[in-house]
Structure 1
C-alpha cells in the first residue's frame, strides 16, 4: 500500500488539529504540507511501532516543534483570530498540544504521549494545566437538570469548584424550561429520566429552541441517546460518573461550542 493510501483517511483530521493548534487554516495546512513532503522525501519515517494515525501526528508534531514560528506569517497577531483560537493560543504550546490531542482528536493519554515523545504522567499534567487555564476564563452560568438530590448536589459541587455559577437545579421538564427562560444559562447539564416521568431530552430540545447553548448529558441510560440517528450529543457521560470526566467535559463543551463567543459578547 502506498504512503498516500495509508495516510489519506487521517489527513482531514491532522489538518483539523493543525488548524486548532496554530489558530489559522492556512498556517496549519502549511505545517501539514511540510510534514507530508518530509515523509515523501524520506526525511521522516512513520514509526512502525505506532498505528498509522498516531505515527502521522508524531511526524507532524516533530515538524511543528522544529520549525517553530518559521511558517507563520510575520503580521499575525492574536487580534486576527476568533475568540476560541485566541484562548487556545494563550495556552503554553505543549499544554495546548496535549489538550487538543485528547479533547479534540480523541487520542488516549497513552497515544498522546507517543505523539509528544513523553510519558503518560506528563501528558496528564499538561492536560490539567490547560484545563485550569480554560476553566478560569470560561466561567459561566450553569443549569442542572437532575431529579436525584444527591447526584444533583454532587454535580453542583463540581460545577462550583470549577468557578461556575448555578442558575438552578430542575427536577422536571417544566422546571428546566422555566429556569432557562428566567435566566439564560451558558451551559446545561442534563439527566434523561426525570422525577415526574418527563424527559430531559425533551427539556433540552425546548431550551435549544430559545437559544444555542452547549449541553452535556449525564445519564444512566446512554443507549437512549446513542441510537445511530443524527444529531447525537457531543458530550455524553454515563452514571456513575467520575468527577474528573465531568470537569473535563465541561471545559471542552464551553471551549469548543461555536455560540460561546456570541453569548459572551
Structure 2
C-alpha cells in the first residue's frame, strides 16, 4: 500500500482527533494540513513504521506540541471553542483521554504515541474524565429506535451525571420532545423505526436551538468522509461505553454555551 493510500485511510480519523483537541474543524484541519505537508517533505517517514496508524498519530502529536504550529493557529481568524474550559485541562491530559476513549487506542498504544509509560497514561485519562464530567452536566435527548440500545444510553448518560429528558423512536417524536424541553445535548441514531432519518430530525431541531449532536450509526464510513458536510461527532455501532462517555464529554466541553443544569435554570 502506498503512503498516499495509508494516509487516505486514516485521514478522516486524524481530522476527528485534531478537531476534538482544538475545538473547531478549522483549527483541527490546520494541524492535519501541517501533518500532510511534513509527509510530503519527508516521504520516507512512514516507510519504517511497523504500525502506520500509530506513526501518524505520533507525528500529529509532535506537531500539536509544537510552539510554532500552536502560535499560527492562535493567530488565525477562527477561534478555538471551549477555550475557558481548555484552560483548566492541559493539552497532554486531553490527548491521553481522546486517544484511548475516542480513537480507540489501547493504553500501550496511546502511551507510545505520547512517549510515556502506561501508569502515567492511565492516570491522565482518569483525571480527564473526572474533570470533564464535573463541569458539564446537562439535559440529554436520545433519538434511538432500538429499545435495548436506548436503555444502555440512558443508563450511561445518567451515570455521567446528566439527565435524560426523553427517548424518541421517530423523527416526529424527537421534534415533539425537543419542543417540550430544550436539550443541552442530542444523541441520535441515523436510521429510525418508521424509516425516518435521525439526520433530518436533528437538522430540523438545530434550526431553532443551537445544541451539540452526537450521531450513532452502524455505518460510520458513510458519514465520516473528511468532506463537508459531515457529523462533527460520530460513534460506530456497536459502541464501547467509554467511547460514548468520551464523545459526550468532548461535545459538551467544546460547546461554548454548555453550562451546568443549575446555572441554566437560574440564568
- TM interval, short-chain normalised: 0.5 to 0.7
Determine the structure 2 residue equivalent to 1:216.
Answer: 214
For 2:84, the equivalent position in structure 1 comes to: 86
Whether 1:165 aligns to 2:163 is: yes
Structure 1: gaps (5+ residues): 1-12, 26-47, 65-81
Q: Which residue of 1 aligns with 2:93?
A: 95
Shift of 1:145: 0.2
Q: Which residue of 2 aligns with 1:68?
A: none
- Give per-residue Cα distances to partners, 1:130-167, cap 9 Å, x unaligned: 11111111000000001111110000000000000011
Quick one: which of 143, 150, 157 aligns to 2:141? 143
Higher relative contact order (CA 8 A, sep 6+): 2
CA contact (8 A) 1:188 1:216 kept: yes
Return the match for 1:201 from 199, 202, 208. 199
Q: 1:100 to 1:217 in 2, by over 3 A?
A: closer
Q: CA RMSD in A?
A: 4.0
Shift of 1:101: 6.7
**Partner residue of 2:238 out of 240, 251, 258:** 240
The total of aligned residue pairs comes to 211
Using the TM superposition, give the Cα deviation of residue 215 of structure 1 relative to its aligned residue in structure 2, in angstroms: 0.7
The 1:90–1:227 alpha-carbon spacing in structure 2 relative to 1, beyond 3 Å, is closer
Structure of larger gyration radius: 1
Does structure 2 conserve the Cα–Cα contact (< 8 Å) formed by 1:103 and 1:252?
no
Pairwise CA distance, 1:123: 1.5
Q: Distance in 2 between matches of 1:191 and 1:178?
A: 17
CA 1:223/1:96 → structure 2, altered by over 3 Å: closer, same or farther?
closer
Q: Secondary structure at the match of 2:140?
A: strand
User: 1:93/1:225 Cα in 2 relative to 1: closer, same or farther (>3 Å)?
Assistant: closer
State yes or no: 1:251 paired with 2:249.
Answer: yes
Secondary structure at the aligned position of 1:130 is classed as helix
Deviation sequence 1:68-114 (CA, Å, 0-9, x none):
xxxxxxxxxxxxxx99333233236753553477789x695556524
User: Where does residue 72 of structure 1 map in the other structure?
Assistant: none
Structure 1 residue 52, shift from structure 2 partner:
7.8
Equivalent residues in 2 for 1:15-164, closer than 5 Å:
51=55, 54=58, 57-58=61-62, 84-91=82-89, 95-96=93-94, 98-99=96-97, 108=105, 112-114=110-112, 116-164=114-162
Report if the CA contact (8 A) 1:58-1:114 is conserved: no
Contact 2:58–2:113 under 8 Å retained in 1 = yes
Tell me, which stretches of 5 or more residues in structure 2 are unaligned? 1-14, 28-47, 68-79
